[in-house]
Amino acid sequence: AEAKGEPYAGKVAVATVVLNRVDSDSFPNSIHDVIYQGTQFTPVQNGEINKAADAEAKKAVNEALAFRGQGKGSLFFFNPDKTSDQWLRQKQVTITIGNHVFAK
């Protein structure tokens, strides 16, 4: 839901961020807890998370799981057109895909 409308590579990268967070000592230790941590993900806040994932989203998650650890260490992502959060903008950028900037 978070990467809806983004290119396939962006969907894989968003899923990889979630997995990287699970592996990080700075975030919760389960996928569920990472996704539902506070206000981290807009689809949790607006209910989009409850809609069924499409085939491409499922494929992207499976690819992220298969290639886990190859996401350049990204722990964050944002759409610079939708946020002015300076804390995020000061993070080290790892890659930009579609409308999302990924960082660590």
Segment 18-43 mean pLDDT: 94
Q: Kindly state the percentage of the chain with pLDDT values over 90.
A: 66
Rg (Cα) of the chain, in Å, rounded?
A: 13
Which residues, in sequence order, are CB contacts of 79 under 8 Å at separation 6+? 99, 100, 101
Whole-structure pTM value: 0.77
Q: What is the pLDDT of residue 74?
A: 87
CA–CA dist 103, 24 (Å, integer): 14
Segments making up each domain of the chain, as ranges: 8-73
- Out of 1.10.10.10, 1.10.1240.10, 3.40.50.720, 1.10.10.2520, the CATH code matching 8-73 is 1.10.10.2520
Q: What is the pLDDT of residue 70?
A: 56
Q: What are phi and psi of 94, to 5 degrees?
A: -100, -35
Q: What is the pLDDT of residue 71?
A: 61
| pLDDT tens profile 57-99 | 999 999 888 877 556 788 998 999 999 999 999 999 988 888 8
